Structure 1
Amino acid sequence: MTIEHVETLIVGGGQAGLTASHMLSRRGRAHVVLERARIAERWRTERWDGLRFQFPNWSVQLPDFPFKHTDPDGFTTSPDIVAFLTAYAAFIAAPVRSGVAVTHLRRRTSGARFQAETSAGPIAADNVIVATGPYQRPVLPALLQDQPGLFQVHASRYRAPEQLPAGAVLVVGGGASGAQIAEELVHAGRRVFLSVGHHRRMPRRYRGRDLIWWLAEMKLDQTPVEKRGSDRALPLITGAYGGHTIDFRQFAAQGITLLGRVVASQAGVLEIAPDLGDSLLAGDAAYAAFLDLVDAYVARQALDVPTDADARARLADPPDVREPMRRLDLDAAGISSVIWSTGYACDFGWIDLPVFDAEGMPRHRGGITEVPGLYFLGLMWLSKMNSSFLSGVAGDAERLANHIAGQRAG
């Protein structure tokens, strides 16, 4: 049987895969992009209706292709990001094959280095770029799996308040998604309980500029992975309601009941860790440290930006913090729905190559692995802080394309 042979196979048709395609086309390198469903599929089917992108419109761009908008300081919607990525694919004439899933990737013993088994048949490839992104498999805890009549959904499958049955809602996870969903629900008139863990709170805007502007201005978004530090929590920011700084104490003032981490469950009663106060203090410390960093930078560079004393004001701790809840009876609280905003895990079980560490994560240096011809792109902190940002993937994609082109030339 004749097997199709391609020089470079790109797995994934999102921002990373499309940008890799663009970089390879610039260098005249033949390639194919396989996408399991549609371009930007996760933006289409794994985002809720009211989501607002966390990055301001002025910062959204891909190589040679800025995002068209009428409000530079606004925050766009998922459908607009889908349209942007779809238009980008057409602009670069990406050779995307939609509806083709890669089910197995292995090494070949002769000819091309790799063979990919796909839903459309096998493909041999000299190089493979895995661009499936960092959000592959929703993490869904089993704490309440035996609770009958309780509506449960991962944040990736939540769509709108109307999706949920009548009653109070428990949102587990106080990251960016959990915070934005909890706020949407309370605006919809729901009683909301929000379980908050360790987080890194950041200002939406400070001294007249957005957080993303400060990250770029101070080149913090270029921080190499070697200097990442020990705190792996993602920055807690939102683009909802015009974009504002997330303060869980303000959430409590809006009527959201704050909880610590959910650690156990028995017969519909949740055990809550007594760590809510500590989590908020850790968030405060990260927030204050960033303000200090900006202030020091402004002084060194003599920047003409306004002061912002209000940014350091802090609300008093609500009763939820002073007397944290230790047990939550779902029935007694009238909770009919649980939204698990508990993140994602990578899923590389389809790759049969010796490139993973004990935790199942790929070993690589800036996306280049020890297996010749195998690359990863779009993962968080692939080489620097903004490696997984929509507008930050270009540098990594260009480096991988150069590596592939250089090997071919060699």
Structure 2
Amino acid sequence: MSPTLAPSVIRTNTVVVGAGQAGLAAAYYLQQRGVDFRLLDAAAAGAAWAGRYESLRLFSPAWVSGLPGRPWPGNPLHYPTRDETTAYLRDYAAHFGFPLDLHQRVTRVGAAPEQAGYEISTDSGRTYLARRVIIATGPYTAPRVPAWAGRLPAATAQLHSRDYRRPSQVPGSGPVGVVGSGNSALQVAADLAATGRPVVVAFDEKTAALPNNQLMWLFLVLTGLLRVPRHTALGRRLSRRPDPVVSGDLAKLRQFSNVTFIGRAEAALPSGAIQGQKGVSPPLEGVVWATGYQPDYGWVDLPVFEPNGAPRHRRGLTEVPGIAFLGLNWLDTRRSALLHGAGPDAKRVVGELLKMP
């Protein structure tokens, strides 16, 4: 007879780490299959969205942004805001009554001692024992900034777009720089420019720009371009290309008279200026780095990573039985890191995991 487990030890079939869109979609399909599971999050459902900048809007309309089993409420043509996205995810978790354990930051996932399965430890002192673990914390974890960012003087305030919420976070009223060539860089720069202060944008002029309208999304859905698998020849070619930015957002930013584009950032100068391919900024009072993220899975004590720290998987499934990832860029297709792709990826990964003994 097995000894009685202490209250701080919870045994379950599957643990899902992360209650963003990927983790919630996994929870939906686990629930549909009648699997005993726990959904863990360091804060709350949708917390990653709640922590983004206030002016954020989804790049996809509501009709292609819903999770399985619960369409987005309201106008399907609407592009949801940050707060609307957070509310939708929290409502989704509450509607289905998932076994959601909040404020459980996972500190280690490793092999369970002296038994099959895995041991998941949290900073609250809880331990979960599970046969399967789905890691759905997403790709937006550790901010990445250029190595030369440290050359800026201490007087130049610096923050990453992950920590940017509103213009008032950047002190002063003089020039501020935004470095990056993605959609977040354009939205943050426009947010700052709307205050009237000078904004210098270090943006790679070679970045592709596409319209973001209902017709484009209808085209992407009907042609299946968002569903091209990464492991095909076309998928490999597409995955190597940088993501395009929204042409309307780029055009809007160029209309601000207080915005200057200097091309892709190349270096920082001791004066507090940034050298771009097309010009040099004036000394900056602050810089927002919209320069992406890098993997941060130091808490996963399992042999499932490439030398660069990225998860090693095929379509979300790893070589370690019972361990899978969800919500990564190009986990399977272009839509994998979007709300649009959370459901299909979760359905497939959960189905494959449950085939394992």
1:228 alignment partner AA: R
Match of 1:260 in 2: 263
Q: 1:351 is paired with a residue of what secondary structure?
A: coil
Distance 1:271 1:50 in 2: 25
Q: Which runs of 5+ in 2 are unaligned?
A: none
TM-fit CA distance, 1:273: 4.5
1:73 alignment partner AA: L
Match of 2:13 in 1: 7
1:343 equivalent to 2:292? Answer yes
Say whether the 8 Å CA contact 2:326–2:346 is kept in structure 1. yes
Change (3 A) 1:348 1:395: same
Q: Indicate which of 81, 84, 93 corresponds to 1:80.
A: 84
TM-fit CA distance, 1:54: 1.0
1:52 equivalent to 2:71? Answer no
Q: 1:245 is paired with a residue of what secondary structure?
A: helix
Say whether the 8 Å CA contact 1:263–1:270 is kept in structure 2. no
Highest Rg: 1 or 2?
A: 1
Distance 1:253 1:90 in 2: 43
Match of 1:127 in 2: 132
Change (3 A) 1:252 1:400: closer
Q: Indicate which of 200, 203, 207 corresponds to 2:208.
A: 200
Distance 1:336 1:38 in 2: 34
TM-score (norm 2): 0.90
1:67 equivalent to 2:72? Answer yes
Q: Indicate which of 311, 314, 325 corresponds to 1:376.
A: 325
Deviation by residue 1:357-408 (Cα, 9 ceiling, x = unmatched): 1111111111111000101011111111111111211111111221233224
The alignment's C-alpha RMSD in Å is 1.9
Moved more, 223-232 or 382-391: 223-232
Match of 1:272 in 2: 275
Distance 1:344 1:391 in 2: 21
Q: Indicate which of 199, 214, 233 corresponds to 2:219.
A: 214
**Displaced runs of 4 or more, over 6 A:** none
Moved more, 16-25 or 154-163: 154-163
Aligned residues: 342
Q: 1:391 is paired with a residue of what secondary structure?
A: helix
TM-fit CA distance, 1:57: 2.3
1:66 alignment partner AA: P
1:364 equivalent to 2:317? Answer no
Distance 1:194 1:16 in 2: 32
1:232 equivalent to 2:241? Answer yes
Q: Indicate which of 18, 40, 47 corresponds to 1:41.
A: 47
2:327 alignment partner AA: G
Deviation by residue 1:253-289 (Cα, 9 ceiling, x = unmatched): 4322111222222312546353xxxxxxxxxxxxxxx
Moved more, 182-191 or 368-377: 182-191
Say whether the 8 Å CA contact 2:175–2:282 is kept in structure 1. no
1:404 equivalent to 2:349? Answer no
1:328 alignment partner AA: S
TM-fit CA distance, 1:167: 1.3
Q: 2:16 is paired with a residue of what secondary structure?
A: strand
Distance 1:269 1:263 in 2: 13
Change (3 A) 1:232 1:388: same
Match of 1:168 in 2: 175
Say whether the 8 Å CA contact 1:12–1:131 is kept in structure 2. yes
Match of 2:186 in 1: 179
Match of 2:281 in 1: 328
Deviation by residue 1:94-114 (Cα, 9 ceiling, x = unmatched): 111000011011113432321
Say whether the 8 Å CA contact 1:262–1:270 is kept in structure 2. no
Deviation by residue 1:296-350 (Cα, 9 ceiling, x = unmatched): xxxxxxxxxxxxxxxxxxxxxxxxxxxx31x3341xxxx3121111111121111
Distance 2:310 2:241 in 1: 15
TM-fit CA distance, 1:174: 2.5
Deviation by residue 1:23-73 (Cα, 9 ceiling, x = unmatched): 01101111001101111111111x111111111122221111011123x33
Say whether the 8 Å CA contact 2:202–2:276 is kept in structure 1. no
Q: Which runs of 5+ in 1 are unaligned?
A: 238-243, 275-323
1:126 alignment partner AA: R
Q: 1:80 is paired with a residue of what secondary structure?
A: helix
Moved more, 262-271 or 100-109: 262-271
Percent identity between matched residues is 33
Change (3 A) 1:231 1:272: farther
Distance 2:21 2:274 in 1: 40
Match of 1:136 in 2: 141
TM-fit CA distance, 1:144: 4.2
Distance 2:285 2:103 in 1: 36
Distance 2:269 2:156 in 1: 14
Distance 1:179 1:268 in 2: 25
Q: 2:306 is paired with a residue of what secondary structure?
A: coil
Deviation by residue 1:111-132 (Cα, 9 ceiling, x = unmatched): 2321112123222111000000
